[in-house]
Amino acid sequence: MSFFSLPAHCLRKARTRYGLAAALLLAGHAATAQTAPGAPANAWHGKPCAVVLTYDDAIDADLDNAIPALDSLKLRGTFYLIGAAPVVAKRLPEWRRAAQRGHELGNHALVHPCDGSLPGRGFVTPDNDLSKYTVGRAVAEIRATNTLLQAIDGKTARTFAFPCGDRQIGGVNFYDQLKGDFVAARGVAPGLQTPGQVDLANVECYGINGQDGKYLVDLVKQAQKSRTLLVFLFHGVGGGHPLNVDLAAHRQLLRYLKAHEREIDVAPLVEEAEIIQAYQKSGPARK
């Protein structure tokens, strides 16, 4: 079985990264997602809040289900491609057309390396064990993936997503050497933040696995109330991945976003990160 079809990997990610956030999300944030102190009004392209839809791992369901659903409502998302994933090579013209329609092709590393030294990481092979990498190797593979992505979409500005949420090699944050290569990097921890609160080296997001449409829409309503950035993390949409969202739930979310597009800025992460970057350079200190 290839790395790209390992269900154990995906199921472990669900348990270790997303399960707790899913269980505690509304309870934890209902009390804290009031309008944040110092939250700027209409920061996101003149709108009160922003929503980013991200999709990981470069799978067929991205091209078969997610992108057509977004395109039907003229919404755009960020798709994090694993450089060596078979679906990238086999369907490269479709990825190019997606980029031409305004979707971001983000960088999810060359072979999706994860730290095999952590508990429950039996799915990690010697070839993609981040704990056996040097920082130099990780940086080189990620930059090689950037070269591939630029050959597909012709763009130089994009964002990165940490595979398995792992950020360190031997206690060193390898992304420190890549900050000049990306506008931002997306992590896996949940959170709703104002432009001044966002850490562009570890943007917070909500991993989705099996939640219904109401849950997804309620998250958006929290972002609207608190005037914050909300980033969704999807894998399978309507199948194709052990971490999955039902087509109907995904459609319900997209329709809500479309119906409220005057109040919600829906754009790829690279565009929202550029807004945050400019705000943090010229605006008030982070709070």
Domain boundaries, the chain: 3-34+43-282
Does residue 188 carry a pLDDT above 60?
yes
The pair of structure tokens assigned to 278 is 């400019």
Q: Are 229 and 272 in contact (CB under 8 A)?
A: yes
Coil vs helix vs strand at 90: helix
Averaged pLDDT, 136-165? 98
206: exposed, middle or buried (Cβ count in 10 Å: 0-12, 13-18, 19+): buried
First and final C-alpha spacing in the chain: 46
Does residue 199 carry a pLDDT above 80?
yes
Does residue 149 carry a pLDDT above 50?
yes
Interior angle at CA 275, CA 101 and CA 260, nearest 5: 60
Does residue 34 carry a pLDDT above 50?
no
Does residue 130 carry a pLDDT above 50?
yes
Does residue 100 carry a pLDDT above 60?
yes
The pair of structure tokens assigned to 158 is 């994009």
Does residue 25 carry a pLDDT above 80?
no
Q: How would you classify residue 122: left for phi > 0, otherwise alpha for psi between -120 and 50, otherwise beta?
A: alpha
The pair of structure tokens assigned to 153 is 């979409």
pLDDT of 227 reads 95
pLDDT of 277 reads 95
pLDDT of 5 reads 43
Averaged pLDDT, 167-175? 97
pLDDT > 90 in the chain, percent: 82
Does residue 9 carry a pLDDT above 70?
no
pLDDT > 70 in the chain, percent: 84
- Min mean pLDDT across 6-15, 79-88, 155-164, 229-238 is at 6-15
Does residue 28 carry a pLDDT above 70?
no
Beta-strand runs (E) in the chain: 49-56, 78-81, 104-107, 159-161, 168-169, 172-173, 184-186, 206-207, 229-234, 236-237, 244-245, 264-266
Give the right CATH number for 3-34+43-282 from 3.40.50.300, 1.20.1050.140, 3.30.360.10, 3.20.20.370.
Answer: 3.20.20.370
